[in-house]
Amino acid sequence: MSASGVTSFPALGTTATVAATDVRSLDRAERAARLEVDAIDLACSRFRDDSELARLERSTGRWTVVTPLLFEAIEVALGAARATDGAVDPTVGTAMRLNGYDRDFRSVARSGPPVRSRPAPGWRVVGIDASRCAVHVPEGVRLDLGATAKALAVDRACAAAVRAAGCGVLVSIGGDLTALGEPPPGLWRVSIGDDHAGGADPAETVGLSGGGLASSGTTVRRWVRGGVPQHHVVDPRTGAPAPEVWRTVSVAAARCVDANTATTAAIVLGERAIGWIASMGLPARLVRRDGRVVRLCGWPEARAA
């Protein structure tokens, strides 16, 4: 990506990048972004025993008062479920564990015995009460906020960084990003690929003036159980990894949360994703397993070699 100043740091099991149009403000932008990302990790991680989500899991079956940050994260997750008619569902926590994704991905065993998938209970079983900042999760239900919490961290970190830096800022975590404030000359230039850590295609570069952009895919976080390949995007209806119609989906939207909700839902929806994304008018790039690309709602063509 293009920027006047760029820095990166480990975050949420991947890499966070902060870019600022004024290099003199980069340190302030990074500090503000780190605080927001660390706060989301402590509130929402299902891989930390000391996270607030882990404490909530130990309080299932009764109403529990939570911090405003965790409440916002759960509210955002439920909003994503509502917007996608359950294709993105935070109650897939048990399914993720049964499929073998039961710890930070760097520690997940790459092979193991067969798994028995279990459908998600469904997002409607989760209760929220904004007047008390309280949440009710039924006994036996485990939440996984991974489909939206990282994107929420991006949006919050970028907003905080802009306030601290007083210039245009772009924040990316694992390739999902938000840009706010005045963009650099020529816009923010972002290359799209199957793997943010090294698979970006220079020919697939888009210009971003602001807003969110996210990619979801099935090619990177993979493991095997009982000889069957697994990936991290779960179909809540079955509890199993979604059938691999698309290997990568990228979407631009007003917020990273909106973009990431759409990309995750698209992986789950398969062929139906084309009509669903088009109905919302979101620029999108969907890559089939064989590499064929579908571009929707003005997503630019690849540049000629």
Tell me what pLDDT residue 195 has: 52
96-105, 168-177, 217-226: range with lowest mean pLDDT: 96-105
Q: Name the domain count of the chain.
A: 1
Could you tell me if residue 117 is inside a domain? yes
pLDDT the model gives residue 155:
98
Task: Note the pLDDT of residue 32.
Answer: 98
The CATH number covering residue 198 comes to: 3.10.520.10
Segment 42-98, tens digit of pLDDT: 999 988 999 999 999 999 999 999 999 999 999 999 999 999 999 999 999 998 887
Structural domain boundaries enclosing 234: 5-296
* Res 6: pLDDT: 95
Residue 227, domain member (yes or no)? yes
Q: Report the mean per-residue pLDDT for the chain.
A: 90
| CB atoms closer than 10 angstroms to residue 35 | 15
Q: How far apart are CA 296 and CA 38, in angstroms?
A: 35
Q: Contact at 8 Å (CB) between 37 and 69? A: no
180 domain residue, yes or no: yes
CA pair distance 257, 211, nearest whole angstrom:
10
Is 267 domain-assigned?
A: yes
Residues 167-176 pLDDT 10s: 999 999 998 9
CA dist 129 and 98 (Å) reads 30
CB 245 within 8 A of CB 294: no
For 269-304, the DSSP string reads: HGGGHHHHHHHHT--EEEEETTS-EEEETTPPPPPP
In a domain, 134, yes or no: yes
pTM of the model: 0.91
Inside any domain, residue 305: no
Asked if the structure places residue 123 within a domain, the reply is yes
- Report how far residue 137's alpha carbon sits from residue 142's, in angstroms, rounded to the nearest whole number: 8
266 lies in some domain: yes
Q: Cβ neighbours of residue 7 under 8 Å, at least 6 residues apart?
A: 17, 18, 26, 30
Residue 104: the pLDDT is 67
Q: What would the pLDDT profile of 186-209 be if each residue is shown by its tens digit?
A: 899 998 876 544 455 667 899 999
The angle formed by the CA atoms of residues 206, 160 and 46, to the nearest 5 degrees, is 85
Q: How far apart are CA 297 and CA 4, in angstroms?
A: 30
pLDDT of 103 > 60? The answer is: yes
**For residue 149, which of 118, 173, 131 has the smallest C-alpha distance?**
173
Could you give phi then psi for residue 76, rounded to 5 degrees?
-65, -45
